[in-house]
């Protein structure tokens, strides 16, 4: 959707459009409230700035909307559709990669109590596995910050893909 059309949408319609980017209602409302945007870069800069204020609880709640890396999203939501496209670098027929992701996801969830989230768009399965292995070495405080950063990257990339 062109930026001009996004700027002209009713607030409720704009929020519905932005919601699949990340399940953090305050961020969605903030992005929409910032309209009108003169340039796409202004919209994305606002989205990044708003993401800096996410709380740990908001991030934890938003993770429920994301599938594990290597797993197919469930449901037919726009967010699930975006996740499936973003994880295109993971070949579901590659048994070795699937097993390594399954084991890595399980180790991550055991260590941190939440799913492993990484911006998958543009990354290969091997790259995501390498990041997973390195992130398992993080302490919990560092890891929640990395998770926030990854979730923000996902949200901003999605927003940029929706508003062009």
What is the predicted pLDDT for the residue at 98?
A: 83
For 20-85, the DSSP string reads GG-S-HHHHHHHHHTPPPSSHHHHHHHHHHHHTT--HHHHHHHHTTSPPTTSPPPSS-HHHHHHHH
pLDDT of residue 54: 97
The pLDDT score that the predictor gives to residue 109 is 95
Distance CA 83, CA 68 (A): 10
Is-above-0.85 flag for pTM?
Answer: yes
Residue 26 CA to residue 50 CA, distance in Å, equals 9
**How many domains does the structure of the chain reveal?**
1
What CATH number is given to the structural domain containing 118? 1.10.3330.10
Which residue range is the domain that position 143 belongs to?
3-162
74-114 pLDDT, tens digit each: 655 566 566 656 665 566 667 788 888 889 999 999 999 99
pLDDT < 50 positions in the chain: none
CA–CA dist 2, 40 (Å, integer): 9
- Tell me what pLDDT residue 121 has: 87
The pLDDT score that the predictor gives to residue 149 is 97
Q: State residue 35's pLDDT score.
A: 98
Q: pLDDT at position 88, please?
A: 54
């Amino acid at each position: 959707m062109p930026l001009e059309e996004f700027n002209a949408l009713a607030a409720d319609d704009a929020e519905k459009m932005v919601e699949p980017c990340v399940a953090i209602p305050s961020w969605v409302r903030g992005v929409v409230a910032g309209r009108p945007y003169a340039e796409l870069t202004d919209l994305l800069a606002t989205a990044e700035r708003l993401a800096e204020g996410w709380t740990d609880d908001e991030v934890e709640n938003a993770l429920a909307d994301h599938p594990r890396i290597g797993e197919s999203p469930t449901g037919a939501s726009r967010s699930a559709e975006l996740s499936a496209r973003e994880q295109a670098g993971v070949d579901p027929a590659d048994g070795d990669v699937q097993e390594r992701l399954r084991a890595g996801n399980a180790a991550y969830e055991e260590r941190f109590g939440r799913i492993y989230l990484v911006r998958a768009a543009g990354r290969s399965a091997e790259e995501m596995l390498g990041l997973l292995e390195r992130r398992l070495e993080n302490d919990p405080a560092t890891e929640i910050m990395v998770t926030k950063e990854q979730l923000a990257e996902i949200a901003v990339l999605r927003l940029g893909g929706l508003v062009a």
